Chain A
């Protein structure tokens, strides 16, 4: 009931508090965490604020580095991240976008986590800090292993995709903004006329954002033509484990996924 508030001076110090206390959580935008506190999650006894730790910066080098406390609104305010604007713009209304952070989005469960879906397609790595110092991990592994206890995500890093190679679409029932029926992000580089280094990721098609390996394999090495798109569409739902929720049933998600994947790949949508 009583909640301790900790303002740390450094990420290392904050990570120390988290490591030493089961009831401690790192508070970024709070769009999930505060909701949990208000709903009566009594396991949360301490929050460590992300404020003032310098995690809210975007570095436009190569790779691009986005601090974990950067909000969707900040991404939208950065012209050099134009290809990510449709992603940030699809997450909640203006107030949610002004609060929700990139770091928090990595911890989201279906139907949320749309930014993480985009990062998965971009092949991002996650930089985190704990008692043993800083470490970098592939986002896919990070998502698979679950949130690291006592570690704080500092930033995500990814290489700028080739011009026009990044595609994103999100299907919602509520317009213009809503939770995902599903979302798809893809990086489709065609350096020499054929696809090379394809990455496709889904949101709301499993409990956490996932990569569509079968689709990637069906596309890799081929020109992005009707035959390749057909082959990818056939295996669209491979490995997916969608859930039933108020947005859509698992059945519906599986049924419409190939349609939206085809539209994304053929450029009709997204």
Chain B
């Protein structure tokens, strides 16, 4: 897929603010420190459509610690905690 954001620095989606839009570069479950194993976390993220090249937008954030976040992934909205979103590297 073409990546229009080549110039932007890569960052984990878990650090993105509300209103952020970007494209998924890769998944890196090791970075997330989730309770799930790396493979399990990565599998779940892929099953929810978080794959390389998907467009994401942070639509909403919760009150406590701005967590969880509601992310638009292409055509659907998914709620995830920032901890797990750390595994999604975007730019």
A and B from one complex: no
